[in-house]
Each structure stands twice: as C-alpha cells, then as structure tokens.
Amino acid sequence: MIKFDEVHKRFPNGTTAVHDLSLEMPEGQITVLVGSSGCGKTTTLRMINRMVDPTSGTIRLAGKDILESDAADLRRGIGYVIQQSGLFPHRTVLDNVATVPLLLGWGRKKARSRAAELLETVGLAADAGKRYPHQLSGGQQQRVGVARALAADPPVLLMDEPFGAVDPVVRTQLQDELLRLQKDLAKTIVFVTHDIDEAVRLGDRIAVFRTGGHLVQCAEPAELLARPADDFVADFLGAERGLKLLSLSTLAGLPQGPAPEGGRWELALDSARKPLGWRDGDAAADSPLLPVRALRDGDSLLSAVNESIASPAGLVARVDADGVLTGVTARAEIHDHAGEAHISAGAAA
C-alpha cells in the first residue's frame, strides 16, 4: 500500500502542484488519478518514486517512509511507464526491456531471457526484440514500455498517461491487456489520466483532482458516478454519467424469454443456432437481414441499452459463450433494470 499523509508540493517558482494530499493507494489495486491538465497528477505520481520530493508531509510505501530509502534503490523496485513510452531510442527493444534487470546485476543472459519472456507476456512477437523502438508502431511501443516496467517484477507500477498518444482502438486494446495482466499480477498500480472513461474502465479506485493540486473525491467508480461529491466532480464526469455507470454492470442477472415467432420481426439463426440478423416479415422475401449484435452475460448494461435502441425488434438477442442463442430480453426490461442499477449503486455508496 502507498499512503500519502498531508503531502504538499510547492515548486521553487511558487507553483503549488499538490495541496495537502492524504490518500491511500491499496495494495494489488489500480488507483487512477484523474483531472484536467495541470492539476498535479504527474507531480503526485513522481513523488512516489522520488523524481520529485515533497515540500512537506510523508509518503509511505509498505509502511516505510520513502525518504528513508536510497532514491536509486527505491526506483528499481517501482515500475514506471510514461507517455510515448520514453523508450531508449539507441537500444533494441529487448535491451530496453532488460534495463532494470541489468541495473540489478542479473547478468546479460538472464536479463535478456527475462526480457524475451516479457515481450510475449505483453503480446509482442519475439522478433520485435531485435528491432529499435522507432521501428514499432505507437501501440507496440507502449507495450514495450509496460514490459520494461514489469521486467524486474516490481510490486508497484506507476503509469503516467501511458496510452495517451495512441488512437482510440489501440488504446482500448491496451487497456484490456492491462486489465488482463493485472488479473494475474495484482500489482499496486497508480495510473494517471485526464480521460474519465479510461479512469472508469481501469480504476478500482478513482481520485479526482482539481487545479491547484486539491483532491476532491476518491471513491470506487460506481460510487463516484452515482454520488459525485460536488458539482465540480459531476461536471468532470460529464453529461453521460448515468451511461458510464451502466458500463460498470453486466447483463448477467437480466431475465430472458424465447425469441419471437410469428410477429413482424424474427431472428434468423444459422444451423448452430447462432443469430444471423433480424428478418422483417413485412419486407420482400429476398431483402437482406437487419444486423443483430448478440450479447453475452459478461457484456455491459451500457451495450445492452445501446443494442436495445439499435435493434429493430426492440429486443436484445442473448447468446452463451459459444455464440449460441439463449433467448431475448425486451427494451423495457433493460431500461428498468438500468434505472435500478443506478439507484442501487447510489444506495451502496
């Protein structure tokens, strides 16, 4: 666990970047620091690995005041990922990843074999190791950045807008990968972003900052979305706050009925009973099917609301893990359920 206790940072030029911050970042969880540009997120993050030292207050890592450790030793036990990855342009990808193991004196051979293993872990092909960073795409570079931070298996990972410079599709992939990795690794991750959607997707806890380095609210995503502490947080969460909350719950509990028969809309299935599309009984027999996006139990309530609106029949097709139809759920049922989800998230908070 990382514990900030009344931490204040004032730079020599008089800027207060972090204002009396008390905050706990629980072990094995992702704590996201979110807020608009200049509100002190990076400074907060960099105080953890002593790239910046606080003006006053204490920061404890696993119970120990970080100022008591040697800065270089402390840093070798904390992974650090920055935007555009900060890779070393003159080292091959493999040697980039091997950096910290080499610093720790593992020896070249062991460091490189560990690096090769990590490239695989983050989903890069083995031959990427021989390349130089500029020979990779932006998304691949970020993966290398993550692999490099994980190389010596540090318990703590600091990530400063690591996916800020890649396009939205790749960003979503990288976020998914991070969540997948985190399931196995259970690192204590502090993740900085200015993107509230990213915060909601990734965070076990979200700390919202306001300009001047003030922490406004720190809560689990559902609580934050259901009960923002004040107008500032509510504004920051945006007009789609309700929909964002739906992205946090799944369809799992929603009842389903049999697919409609005999009405205007029928669900066309293939021989394995996988949905193909909606057939319009009022249209000519050879007109094309209208698209269906069948959902699994693990899909979010938000995608169900979306599909219920997009579906011409007003029904959401539900499938099992293999894509085989299990039933349908009506629009009205989904909307009722969504409203209840919102209320119960608020009540739990």
Partner 1 sequence: MTIEWGWFPDHIDEMTRLTADHLSTALSAVFFGLLIALPLAVIAHRFRPLRGFVLGLSNILYTIPSIALFVLLLPVTGLTRTTAVVGITAYTLVVLVRNTVEGLDTVPAKAREASTAMGAKPLRTLFTVELPLALPVIMAGVRVATVMSISLVSVASAIGQGGLGQLFIDGFQRDFPTLVIAGVALTLLLALVADAVLVTVQWLATPWTHKRGA
Ligand X SMILES: Nc1ncnc2c1ncn2[C@@H]1O[C@H](COP(=O)(O)OP(=O)(O)O)[C@@H](O)[C@H]1O
Residue numbers at the binding site for Mg ion (CB under 5 A): 42
DSSP three-state, residue 18: strand
CA distance linking residue 39 with residue 19, whole number of Å: 10
Min dist. Cβ of residue 86 to ligand X (A) = 15
Residue nearest to Mg ion (CB): 42
Rounded Cα distance between 322 and 344, Å, is 31
Name the minimum Å distance from CB 204 to ligand X. Answer: 20
For partner 1, which is the closer residue by CB, 75 or 143?
75
- Stretch 34-53 residues interacting with ligand X (CB under 6 A): 35, 37-43
- Choose the binding region for partner 1 from 134-142, 263-271, 325-333, 338-346 (rule: CB under 8 A): 134-142
| CA 212 to chain CA centroid, nearest Å | 25
Site track 163-202 with partner 1 (rule: CB under 8 A), x = hit: ----------------------------------------
The site partner of 87 among partner 1, Mg ion, ligand X, none (C-beta below 5 to 8 Å per kind) is partner 1
Whole-angstrom distance, CA of residue 101 vs CA of residue 118: 12
User: What are the φ and ψ backbone dihedral angles of 88, each rounded to 5 degrees?
Assistant: -85, 115
Binding at 11: pick from partner 1, Mg ion, ligand X, none (beta carbon under 5-8 Å per type): ligand X
- Contact criterion met (CB below 8 Å) for 143 and 149: no
The residues with which 159 forms a beta bridge, in sequence order, are: 81, 191
Query: Exposure of 261 by Cβ count < 10 A (0-12 exposed, 13-18 middle, 19+ buried)?
Result: exposed
Among 17, 157, 215, 345, binds ligand X (CB under 6 A): 17
Q: Which residue's CB is nearer to partner 1, number 76 or number 273?
A: 76
82 touches partner 1 (CB under 8 A): yes
Among 17, 100, 237, 330, binds partner 1 (CB under 8 A): 100
Give residue 182's region: left, alpha or beta (phi > 0; psi -120 to 50). alpha
Q: Are the C-beta atoms of residues 251 and 319 closer than 8 Å to each other? A: no
Pairing of strands 188-193, 156-160: parallel
Per CB under 6 A, residues contacting ligand X are 11, 13, 15, 17, 35, 37-43
Which spans of this chain sit near partner 1 (rule: CB under 8 A)?
49, 51, 72-76, 80, 82, 84, 86-91, 99-100, 103, 131-132, 134-137, 148
